[in-house]
Structure 1
Amino acid sequence: MPSKSVAVIGAGPAGLVAAKTLLRVPGQAFDVTVFERKSRVGGMWAVEVGEDGGIVNPEMPTNLSRFTVSFGDLDWRAVHLPSLPMFPRAWQVGRYLKTYTDRYIPSESIKLGSTVKSVEMVGEAESARYRVQWSRTACEEKHSGEDYEEAVFDHLIVASGFFSKPRPSSGKNPPSKLIHSSQFRHVSQILPQAHPDGNIVVFGGGMSGGEAAANIAFQISDSKHSPQSELDLSGCKLFHVVPRPFYPLPTHLPVNPALDADLVNPAPTFVPLDLTMFDLSRRPEGHIKPSNGLTPPERAEKSHSYLRSISGWREHELPRALIHTDQQKKSPSVVAISDTYSGFVLSTDIQTLAGRVVDVSSDEQGKTKITITGGVEGETTTIDSVVAIVDAAGFEPHGALDWMSDGIKSKLEYDSTSNRLPVLLHHHSVDNELLPTLGFVGFYEGPYWGVMEMQARYLARKWSAQSGVNVAQNFESEHERLRNLRQAIALRASDVPQYVMSDYPGLIEGFAQELGITRDDLGGCKRRGPPTAARYSTDEDDRRQSQDVCREIDQVLDSAESSRKFVSAAAFRALQGHWRVRRQLHSFLAGFPSGTFEGTADFLPRRPTDLEAAAEYLYVEDGTLTTEAGLTLRANKRYAYRYSEAADLISAWFVKEDGKSVDYLFNEIQFRARPKGHSGGWLAKGSSHLCEPDMYETDYEFKFRGAALDSFDIKYVVKGPRKDYISTTTFQR
């Protein structure tokens, strides 16, 4: 079989998995050339610690676990990293892709520093070849003709990324500093130096808006409560303007939030969110098929019901902008993934407003004001004294197709006004019947890595001497469906989902059935766990790597069910924010008063002050102690709380006299199995603490409602030469 030449445009995840897949097709030789304008592979993930990072911050964590952000035959544990979190940082993803490239793709197949300038069809569309012209430089400037090189290829794969560049910000020359969320790194870069106090506004809902608002709120909190802070942001107030309500979800979610239809489970099992949201056991019996495109009301209502149960939010705790009306519950749900957003909302550090920004202007004093319309009841709202604006309106894909000729775009029905469906692609955004030698990998909103791998396999099978693909699809009806979907998007129809191809289990299972790939069953259970890429390995893959990943997923699910794994992470996150506190002190010594303390407590997020900690709070408590004799005393205390992902452990620490710096360990909180017959929340034991000459024995109970903490209790039994008392404290929202 003669070799076929393939040009792959882009060396991000999509381009790399496409190249690797084609290079390993049995019975068909593909001569693959990958064009990448940057000096290294990785696409948007080609970042290192300390770099600006382009459109992603190198320290940004993934919003899905490493089991989903991976390909089928490279175990994350094979990547040389100093530590391996469940949700890797962007720079760690870049290292993963570099390892993948070194292992599977010859260096001569990748042209780094090569910017594709144009691609044109050669011959008739049905059997077209493609003339690719490129410049051997990463510079975006126009070059003279002799700087170009060109070659003709039998096939072309577009893998240049859907989120190619930030969507242009609305408005012109706003009085305040305006920055796109992808460029935001620190509050200091957007605040005016002369008068930094004022209102910061983030507009745009969903993933980008939620992440940006939570990031800014965290930096403001850190500036107030960290001993390391050199920036005073206490005069800043944060507003988040959202066009419709959404669900802020943390990275760890309950598998079993309810015991039955009417009874909340106060001690659910927790796993990383994708391990439960994509769990195959949640799908109906029979073949799993993708359900993408427009969302009918009955499916939307089921989604809302599920998200309410796992988030655990009560409507009276929410700002009006995040409360769904009955009508909105019939439209597709929107989510944002953040461990801190909901806590900042509960403590009003983020003030969420409903509507859309319609005007940015200056008032009579020269200060910026923003006008919002379309609030909860259609009202118009104005935010004055705005000092900075972060635009989280998302990205647009058109820059990824700048090099494509008008002839190719015409066949694909390219629409320059459509940011969500710029070209019409069949078979889950892989190809178009009018151009059978052209393929796309990862060119859709929010592409999943496992789906990208399946798209690459589909194209490899289609273009090779293999037996073909088992696809039964009416292309005319599919084309009409895509046209209708594009029109619905343009009209902002109520049944348009957040992402039009978001059904990850359906997509990967659909491809597997068409390609004849058998899923690896975890622990002998066909429907257990998520459909990660490693579960769909083929003879062309390194099955040892795939099997290692499957075993680890199986172990993670087992440990979550049997040994309380991830409960510490879920509990620590849910502590954030403001609590009402009631404490009963019962003393057995005459000289030590018994009484009742009532007050408030705040778990205030800040940067970890220890390298081993993944997250940290400053705990501030204030209130009044009323003794049994009727005396009232003002009382307050401070601690630091830390969470270590490596040890899966929460610890409490005393703080120094400055009220912020960590001093020495108070105790470590170890979750334990619930006694037989116990129907309450998760129980934990504090390590015995010797505070000379006194000994503290500590017990905890954490009662969950979905991913939220409904309440928690702490009981101290303290004994010493001058102390003999029991302290029982209840924390409630």
Structure 2
Amino acid sequence: MPKTVCIVGAGPSGLAAAKSLLHDVPAGTFDVTIFDAQSRIGGLWPSSRDDAAGQVHPLMVANQSKHTVQFSDLAWEEGSLDLPKAWQVGRYLERYLQAYCQGAKLSLGNCVEKAEVLPTPEGGTGPSWRVQTRTHDGQVDEHNFDHLLVASGFFGRPLRPSGVPVDSDVPVIHSSEYRNLTALLGKTPGDRSKILVVGGQMSGVEIAGTIASHLSSAIHSPGTCPIANADRYSIHHIIQRPTWVFPLHLSPKSALSAPPFLPLDLGSYNLSNRSFPLANKEGHISVEAAQTVNAIYRQTVGSDQSIFSPEVAVGSDDDKNPPYLVVSDTYLEFVRSGLISAAHGKLQSISGSLATITPSGEQINDVAAVILATGFEASASVLFLPASIQNTLSICPTDLNNTLALGFHGTYHPDVPNLGFVGFYRSPYWGVMEMQARFITALWAAGGPSSSLPPTMRAALSNDTSIERTIHLRADPRASQYPMGDYPWLMAEFATALGLEISPPLGKMPQLPPANNEMNILTPARYPPKSPTDFQRSETTKALQQTEAAAWAGLMSGKFVAKAVFRSLLGEWKLERSLVSKLPSHPSGHFSGTAKFLLRDGTRDGRESEFDGLETDGNVGLEYLYIEEGDFKASNGLTFRATRRYVWRYNEQRDMLSVWFVKTDDQKRADYLFHEVKFVATDQDDGQGWKATAGHMCIDDFYDVNYEFRFQAINLRDWRLAYTVKGPKKDYTIDGTYRR
């Protein structure tokens, strides 16, 4: 008779667990039932662009690439973006369900309310479970299972800070509830102008950057603004400590003026940068380790971040503290522009429209809305367990990182052998979830921690100190941001226990300094199933090919440079431009002024058919309204005010920048294409920046356009735009330099 297993949760963790129980052991070993309170699978991940009911906005971009956000034996579809949106991740999970979980009984819209331990049957190996569920219409049922697997996620319910007096008529919402400006500000009195974001870690930085993007788009897009007086709003971000902010693409050669770029995880998980055997770099962080990592982060971003604002700087005084890292493409530039301002401390109280920060006592008036980016309470995901079991697991609701004390990297507890966990930790990398599922499957297939386990698993269990380590970290003031353990080390730990070997790269990989070793990128596909089917083998190979192709393209052909340039243009630049004309009908002269790149949602104008196709895929992207203003002093002594506008666009599918003329009667709208910016191969060691060319025929006049973009690490330091115009009545050269 197969052993019956109840899986709580149909997100990535639950599906990975079901797949392992169904496919990693002989067929019929386990009978699997999955319950989920939602009416769809995916957990946090919505499966459509319009699914706004969950905790993740469907258009949110994943902060890891598809090469990490995947399982070992299902590749992303050809043509998918390297950085998928949340709803596209949900679609991937639907494909995974179809490929591997059809043998499971899936019960959606059915919430697990309570689980009880049944008496151990004579000759049994541990407790069995009675599980009580409730449907959306209130029907209550009970089911008995041999095993219970918790895959309900670490983000049980939004955490709202206690002890903060709130006597206010402004909206106060959790960051997971934010969807758009209209819903946030629609009922706010019109004389209030400040949006308060509370919380300085990942969700705080992400939501502050998102709201700033929405405000910028509302102000600078054509048509009717969705909220009144959008330009009066600003964002005030309360943070407790400085945090490193990385964009979604980094460079492994950040010392160059023309650095190559890769999705941040491809470089972060390059095993060629690690010494073997792997040691855990997370948990307790010594002063020396903190100084080393902070120095690496400073080199990666090229500064201490004070160029954006002193309030977000990670100075030398902070180097002894464990580093904190968040991901956002827009946050720092919006801080530089002043749309986001940061303040250190904690929210003490909100009274009316007045917020007070402690310990400084600083007060922020005219608060229009408050966003609590204060994380999630993990303990809510396990409250259906009996109190005695919660006690055995040393539940600590106040510790958001170490909520439960579980054995072997968050998978089980030796005193409750028929209870397992998958994905119950912060930063649930998909590879680790899959490894946890494999570990639990192997443990239960052997009947628990017994002599029938393979020697590698017996050794892993006998040497495991995960429970003790978790309890110790609860009181450790030097615990890391994500104390579960670093990703490569965790993958290696599970692989050793399971007797899995990491597969070699498919072919030769690019070499990187300082040792000029070939890249050795860790992805879930590097640990394929032990006995793969033809389908699994094909999918694993496809996934590895996608990763290796992305690495080669980024390092050797300049892929992702256009995205890095587009990201770094945001904000205001000082512009100096000379014009030299060979014809007396067009005077020479010099322009001095500013150029602003104003971020907004992608628009249809000038590219209607292309846009409609992108809209179907939910990938319209972002664009800039470019406005330059200044004074032109002609060589004949005449000085006059000058301005011009363009629309700059980035097409992620094509990895292409383009510049568009604006309509004369509505200068927020694009009219027609000026040119596409084509980056050219460059000698990355010659001290020059990335070069790009373009051309445009305007009736009888040809514009020969040349760019040079010079980086300081990952951000543009300065750039140059020059073009020569020749025609029957034109013969002049324009050469402009842009600096922060």
Q: 1:391 aligns to what? A: 372
Within 1, Cα distance between the matches of 2:270 and 2:542? 19
Within 2, Cα distance between the matches of 1:582 and 1:19? 61
**2:38 paired with 1:51:** no
Quote how far apart the aligned CAs of 1:565 are.
0.8
Q: 2:568 aligns to what? A: 574
Q: 1:413 aligns to what? A: 394
Change (3 A) 1:180 1:412: same
Q: 1:681 aligns to what? A: 689
Q: Which amino acid letter does the alignment assign opposite residue 566 of structure 1?
A: F
Quote how far apart the aligned CAs of 1:475 are.
6.7
Quote how far apart the aligned CAs of 1:315 are.
4.4
Change (3 A) 1:257 1:58: same
Secondary structure of the structure 2 residue equivalent to 1:436: strand
Q: Which amino acid letter does the alignment assign opposite residue 340 of structure 2?
A: I
Q: Do 1:649 and 1:670's aligned partners in 2 also have CA atoms closer than 8 Å?
A: yes
User: Pick from 147, 160, 170: which aligns with 1:168?
Assistant: 160
Q: 1:224 aligns to what? A: 219
Change (3 A) 1:195 1:107: farther
Change (3 A) 1:527 1:113: farther
Quote how far apart the aligned CAs of 1:245 are.
0.7
Q: 1:371 aligns to what? A: 356
Within 2, Cα distance between the matches of 1:338 and 1:639? 25
Deviates more, 1:709-718 or 1:166-175: 166-175
Quote how far apart the aligned CAs of 1:474 are.
5.9
Within 1, Cα distance between the matches of 2:464 and 2:225? 62
Q: Do 2:189 and 2:368's aligned partners in 1 also have CA atoms closer than 8 Å?
A: no
Q: 2:726 aligns to what? A: 719
Q: Do 1:222 and 1:606's aligned partners in 2 also have CA atoms closer than 8 Å?
A: yes
Change (3 A) 1:532 1:108: closer
Q: Which amino acid letter does the alignment assign opposite residue 202 of structure 1?
A: V
User: Pick from 474, 479, 504: which aligns with 2:467?
Assistant: 479
Within 2, Cα distance between the matches of 1:20 and 1:128? 24
Within 1, Cα distance between the matches of 2:684 and 2:488? 36
User: Pick from 591, 594, 604: which aligns with 1:600?
Assistant: 594
Give the CA RMSD over aligned residues: 2.1
Q: 2:114 aligns to what? A: 118
Q: Do 1:433 and 1:475's aligned partners in 2 also have CA atoms closer than 8 Å?
A: no
CA offsets 1:8-44 (integer angstroms, 9 cap, x no match)? 1111100110010011133471122212222221112
Quote how far apart the aligned CAs of 1:405 are.
0.2
How many aligned positions are there? 700
**2:663 paired with 1:656:** yes
CA offsets 1:248-278 (integer angstroms, 9 cap, x no match)? 21111112112xxxxxx11111011111122
Change (3 A) 1:507 1:675: closer
Within 1, Cα distance between the matches of 2:464 and 2:409? 15
Q: Do 2:602 and 2:621's aligned partners in 1 also have CA atoms closer than 8 Å?
A: yes
Secondary structure of the structure 2 residue equivalent to 1:45: coil
Q: Which amino acid letter does the alignment assign opposite residue 661 of structure 1?
A: R
User: Pick from 261, 270, 281: which aligns with 1:279?
Assistant: 270
Within 1, Cα distance between the matches of 2:241 and 2:485? 19
Q: Do 1:47 and 1:53's aligned partners in 2 also have CA atoms closer than 8 Å?
A: no
User: Pick from 572, 575, 583: which aligns with 1:589?
Assistant: 583
CA offsets 1:399-428 (integer angstroms, 9 cap, x no match)? 211210011111111123333222101221
Within 1, Cα distance between the matches of 2:423 and 2:465? 23
Q: 2:542 aligns to what? A: 548
Q: Which amino acid letter does the alignment assign opposite residue 126 of structure 2?
A: A
**2:127 paired with 1:129:** yes
Deviates more, 1:15-24 or 1:99-108: 99-108
Secondary structure of the structure 2 residue equivalent to 1:220: helix
User: Pick from 89, 99, 103: which aligns with 1:103?
Assistant: 99
Q: 1:262 aligns to what? A: none
Q: Do 2:167 and 2:350's aligned partners in 1 also have CA atoms closer than 8 Å?
A: no
Quote how far apart the aligned CAs of 1:314 are.
5.3
Change (3 A) 1:579 1:690: same
Q: Do 1:39 and 1:112's aligned partners in 2 also have CA atoms closer than 8 Å?
A: yes
CA offsets 1:514-535 (integer angstroms, 9 cap, x no match)? 2221212222569624311111
Q: Do 2:170 and 2:188's aligned partners in 1 also have CA atoms closer than 8 Å?
A: no
Within 2, Cα distance between the matches of 1:308 and 1:158? 39
TM-score, normalised to structure 1, is: 0.91
Deviates more, 1:573-582 or 1:422-431: 422-431
Quote how far apart the aligned CAs of 1:585 are.
1.4
Change (3 A) 1:615 1:416: closer
Deviates more, 1:194-203 or 1:453-462: 194-203
Q: Do 1:681 and 1:704's aligned partners in 2 also have CA atoms closer than 8 Å?
A: yes
Secondary structure of the structure 2 residue equivalent to 1:48: coil
Change (3 A) 1:108 1:553: closer
Q: Do 1:397 and 1:422's aligned partners in 2 also have CA atoms closer than 8 Å?
A: yes
Q: Which amino acid letter does the alignment assign opposite residue 453 of structure 1?
A: E
Change (3 A) 1:37 1:527: farther
Q: 1:150 aligns to what? A: 142
Q: 2:250 aligns to what? A: 253
Secondary structure of the structure 1 residue equivalent to 2:475: helix
Quote how far apart the aligned CAs of 1:582 are.
0.8
Secondary structure of the structure 2 residue equivalent to 1:487: coil
Secondary structure of the structure 1 residue equivalent to 2:417: coil
Q: How do 1:71-110 residues align onto structure 2 when only pairs under 5 Å count?
A: 71-77=71-77, 84-106=80-102, 108-110=104-106
User: Pick from 316, 319, 331: which aligns with 2:309?
Assistant: 319
Within 2, Cα distance between the matches of 1:47 and 1:651? 31
**2:12 paired with 1:13:** yes
Change (3 A) 1:627 1:195: same
**2:510 paired with 1:513:** no
Quote how far apart the aligned CAs of 1:322 are.
1.0
Q: Do 1:64 and 1:274's aligned partners in 2 also have CA atoms closer than 8 Å?
A: yes
Quote how far apart the aligned CAs of 1:476 are.
8.4
Q: 1:670 aligns to what? A: 678
Q: 1:68 aligns to what? A: 68
Q: 2:236 aligns to what? A: 239
Within 2, Cα distance between the matches of 1:25 and 1:646? 36
Change (3 A) 1:207 1:515: same
Quote how far apart the aligned CAs of 1:337 are.
1.4
Quote how far apart the aligned CAs of 1:196 are.
5.7
Change (3 A) 1:346 1:274: same
User: Pick from 424, 431, 442: which aligns with 2:405?
Assistant: 424
5+ residue gaps, structure 1, are 259-264, 363-367
Q: How do 1:322-471 residues align onto structure 2 when only pairs under 5 Å count?
A: 322-362=312-352, 368-374=353-359, 379-465=360-446, 467=454, 469-470=456-457, 471=459
User: Pick from 503, 511, 525: which aligns with 1:534?
Assistant: 525
**2:166 paired with 1:195:** no
CA offsets 1:199-258 (integer angstroms, 9 cap, x no match)? 111110111111111111111111111003423311112111111111221111112112
Q: Which amino acid letter does the alignment assign opposite residue 235 of structure 1?
A: R
Within 2, Cα distance between the matches of 1:218 and 1:477? 45
TM-score, normalised to structure 2, is: 0.91
Quote how far apart the aligned CAs of 1:371 are.
1.0
Q: Do 1:121 and 1:407's aligned partners in 2 also have CA atoms closer than 8 Å?
A: no
Q: Which amino acid letter does the alignment assign opposite residue 714 of structure 2?
A: A
Deviates more, 1:590-599 or 1:445-454: 590-599
Q: Do 1:120 and 1:407's aligned partners in 2 also have CA atoms closer than 8 Å?
A: no
Q: Do 1:461 and 1:468's aligned partners in 2 also have CA atoms closer than 8 Å?
A: no
Change (3 A) 1:87 1:228: farther
CA offsets 1:296-323 (integer angstroms, 9 cap, x no match)? 1222222222222222345441322211
Secondary structure of the structure 2 residue equivalent to 1:674: coil
